Every structure is written in structure tokens, then in C-alpha cells.
Amino acid sequence: SQQGEEDPQALSIQEGENATMNCSYKTSINNLQWYRQNSGRGLVHLILIRSNEREKHSGRLRVTLDTSKKSSSLLITASRAADTASYFCATDAGGSNYKLTFGKGTLLTVNP
């Protein structure tokens, strides 16, 4: 079953613009992670935010987490054509097993 739901399903922007993707989930989590997947490739880990954190930055990435609304957002600033990819949120519910449950993803297209 899918835990996270990304929104929008697809996003098309121009180079230099900011891109915002959202993720909603259903059950309590230990942490939430964002992954990127280029066409035909494996998943690359971008950033992890723990349930007791509200915001995290990594380079041009900014992630927020609102546990009261069970939602997270990923902001990519000053986008580049190379950022074109699918972006997935994945949640870890905690417990003794580290189990990642993925959403359906957002397809981001950055036009040169």
C-alpha cells in the first residue's frame, strides 16, 4: 500500500524558477525522506527529515514537515534542466524494522 501521496503528479517549469512538491501521508512517522529518480535509473537519496524537525536545507533543497497535517514539501530553488526527474517521498513508520513506504511521485520537467 502507498503511504505517501505526492502533489502535483506532474510539474513543468522554466530553468531558474523554483519548484515545490508536496507529500501527504496517513500514519505517524519516524522520519520522511525525499528521493530523486532519473528516467530508467535507480533512486537517489536527497534529504531526510525527522519527525521532531520542521525544516531542513541541503544546497538548493528545502524540506518542511508538518506532522499535525501529516504533510511535507520539497522546494528546489533556481531549478536547472538537470533537475528534470521524478521525485518521491518515502516514510519510515519507525519500530524495529526500517521500512520505507513510497508515494507515487511527482514528475518534474525543467525546460531550458
Partner 1 sequence: EAGVAQSPRYKIIEKRQSVAFWCNPISGHATLYWYQQILGQGPKLLIQFQNNGVVDDSQLPKDRFSAERLKGVDSTLKIQPAKLEDSAVYLCASYALGTEAFFGQGTRLTVV
C-alpha 31/C-alpha 35 separation (Å) is 13
Minimum Å distance from CB 75 to partner 1? 20
C-alpha 57/C-alpha 90 separation (Å) is 17
- Cell numbers linked to 72: 511535507
Minimum Å distance from CB 58 to partner 1? 12
Candidates 40, 52, 68, 112; binder of partner 1 (CB under 8 A) is: 40
Minimum Å distance from CB 16 to partner 1? 28
Residues 6+ apart with CB under 8 A from 69: 24
Q: Which window, 13-21, 50-58, 72-80, 93-101, contacts partner 1 (CB under 8 A)?
A: 93-101
In the Cβ-directed half-sphere of 17, how many Cα atoms lie within 13 Å?
13
Q: Which window, 50-58, 63-71, 72-80, 101-109, contacts partner 1 (CB under 8 A)?
A: 101-109
| Closer CB to partner 1, 44 or 81, in the complex | 44
